């Protein structure tokens, strides 16, 4: 009787052990089935999207596959394709040239750029059309519009009357396709320069002014004088951008008829200057002390539109030796107006043997309320300068220990 319970207990333990062993085997099988396939060499196996079945495409041998025909290479001397044998089809893997020379792959961007340039070269245009397009582009680039005005001189009262009427065909200077133009008149004679300005017309390419101006001129001043009508554009920051001008001598124009005329606006040549006013200063040289003495006196006829937001004015002087800046000095600031006065003396030490190789540059600087500085115009004097700059310097050298004063146009 005691052996029967022992046999039952042993059977139960064996059954429990078998069940546990079976569970362990099942767990190992499940874990092995859930493991993801490993990725070798950076190859990622794509997964199928549910609802779509991936159908394998039949693999065709190379001989039966339909490949695009490859043109035969051109002969390097004749430029003609050599005849191919009947039934011969070039192998695309052998005869197709790779990008680059000597079988070396080039950069993709460079290859695409070469193809684009070759396509552009293939689109040939007849020479007559090229000349016509070039002529039209040059005209568009040089065109600055036209200005309509009238001149009349009354010899009895020695008065020159200028009527600025309108302009047309002005270039677009803002994002809206308009400009804000105004005209500055500069009447130059041997003794002085007089200026006047029209009002600003906003957002238009064909402004109308009909404004008249009068200048007292003698017949002698008419014979030697010249007139410049400069057209500017004023942007939203009150900065003036030069568009074009009309320049002529008064003696070359019929001033008695008073008829109006249209004149084509022209831009100055590359490196050309536009007068923004005049600066009076004197220069002198002291040989014993090796001193160059500069007296900044005053300015006049400054462009009022350029000084709209100006608070102070100053003159910056720079002494140059060829392309090297030797010394830089600046005058005091004065209240901004159209005819500021400084009367300030500035000296530079210059040896006598270097007097012919140095240059003095003067820049008229305007300062806004916020302290931002901008150049209004500049001028220079030296032995190698042109025009009045060379004449002023030569008179200083010819008259040592003497101050020579002249008016200079700043541009």
pLDDT tens across 167-176, in order?
999 988 877 8
pLDDT of residue 34: 59
Instruction: Output the six-digit token pair for 81.
Output: 């394709």
Q: Identify which of 107-111, 121-125, 271-275 has the greatest average pLDDT.
A: 271-275
Residue 266 has a CB neighbour count (10 Å cut-off) of 14
Q: What burial letters (b/e) apply to 377-390, b meaning 16+ CB within 10 Å?
A: bbbbbbeebeeebe
Whether pLDDT at 279 is above 70: yes
pTM of the model: 0.44
Rounded distance between C-alpha atoms, residue 131 and residue 133, angstroms: 6
The domains of the chain are located at 146-264, 277-410
| pLDDT bracket for residue 8 (50, 70, 90) | confident
How high is the mean pLDDT of the chain? Answer: 75
Instruction: Output the six-digit token pair for 369.
Output: 């309320």
CA nearest neighbour of 285 among 355, 344, 361: 355
CA nearest neighbour of 267 among 238, 247, 250: 247
pLDDT of residue 237: 54
pLDDT of residue 18: 82
Residue with tokens 């750029």: 113
pLDDT of residue 349: 94
Whether pLDDT at 59 is above 90: no
pLDDT tens across 114-136, in order?
343 334 344 443 444 445 444 44
Strands of the sheet containing 181-188, edge to edge, are 193-197, 181-188, 226-234, 240-249
Residue 142 has a CB neighbour count (10 Å cut-off) of 12
pLDDT tens across 179-188, in order?
889 998 988 8
- Domain with residues 146-264, CATH architecture: Sandwich (2.60)
Rounded distance between C-alpha atoms, residue 367 and residue 343, angstroms: 19
Whether pLDDT at 147 is above 90: yes
- Fold match between domain 146-264 and domain 277-410: yes
User: Which CATH number fits the domain 277-410, given the four candidates 2.40.30.10, 3.40.50.720, 2.60.40.150, 3.50.50.60?
Assistant: 2.60.40.150
């Amino acid at each position: 009787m005691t052996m029967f319970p022992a046999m039952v207990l042993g059977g139960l333990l064996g059954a429990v052990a078998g069940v546990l062993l079976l569970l362990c085997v099942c767990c190992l099988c499940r874990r092995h089935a859930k493991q993801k396939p490993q990725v070798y060499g950076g190859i990622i196996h794509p997964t199928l999207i549910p609802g779509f079945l991936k159908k394998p495409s039949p693999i065709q041998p190379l001989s039966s596959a339909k490949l695009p025909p490859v043109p035969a290479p051109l002969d390097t001397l004749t430029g003609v394709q050599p005849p191919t044998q009947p039934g011969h089809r070039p192998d695309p893997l052998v005869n197709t040239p790779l990008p680059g020379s000597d079988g070396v792959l080039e950069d993709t961007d460079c290859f695409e750029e070469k193809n684009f340039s070759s396509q552009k070269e293939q689109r040939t245009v007849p020479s007559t059309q090229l000349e016509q397009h070039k002529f039209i582009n040059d005209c568009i680039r040089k065109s600055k519009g036209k200005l309509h005005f009238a001149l009349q001189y009354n010899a009895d009262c020695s008065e020159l009357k200028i009527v600025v009427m309108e302009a047309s065909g002005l270039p677009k200077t803002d994002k809206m396709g308009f400009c804000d133009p105004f005209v500055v008149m500069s009447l130059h004679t041997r003794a002085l320069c007089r200026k006047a300005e029209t009002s600003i017309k906003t957002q238009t390419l064909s402004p109308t002014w009909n404004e008249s101006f009068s200048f007292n001129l003698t017949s002698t001043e008419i014979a030697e004088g010249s007139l410049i009508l400069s057209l500017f554009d004023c942007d939203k920051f009150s900065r003036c951008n030069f568009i074009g001008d009309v320049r002529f001598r008064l003696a070359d124009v019929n001033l008695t008829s008073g008829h109006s005329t249209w004149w084509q606006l022209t831009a100055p040549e590359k490196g050309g200057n536009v007068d923004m006013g005049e600066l009076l200063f004197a220069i002198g040289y002291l040989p014993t002390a090796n001193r160059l003495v500069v007296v900044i006196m005053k300015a006049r006829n400054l462009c009022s539109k350029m000084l709209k937001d100006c608070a102070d004015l100053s003159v910056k002087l720079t002494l140059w030796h060829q392309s090297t800046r030797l010394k830089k000095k600046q005058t005091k600031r004065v209240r901004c107006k159209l005819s500021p006065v400084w009367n300030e003396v500035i000296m530079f030490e210059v040896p006598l043997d270097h007097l012919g190789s140095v240059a003095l540059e003067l820049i008229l600087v305007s300062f806004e309320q916020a302290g931002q500085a901008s150049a209004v115009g500049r001028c220079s004097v030296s032995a190698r300068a042109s025009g009045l700059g060379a004449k002023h310097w030569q008179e200083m050298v010819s008259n040592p220990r003497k101050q020579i004063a002249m008016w200079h146009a700043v541009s």
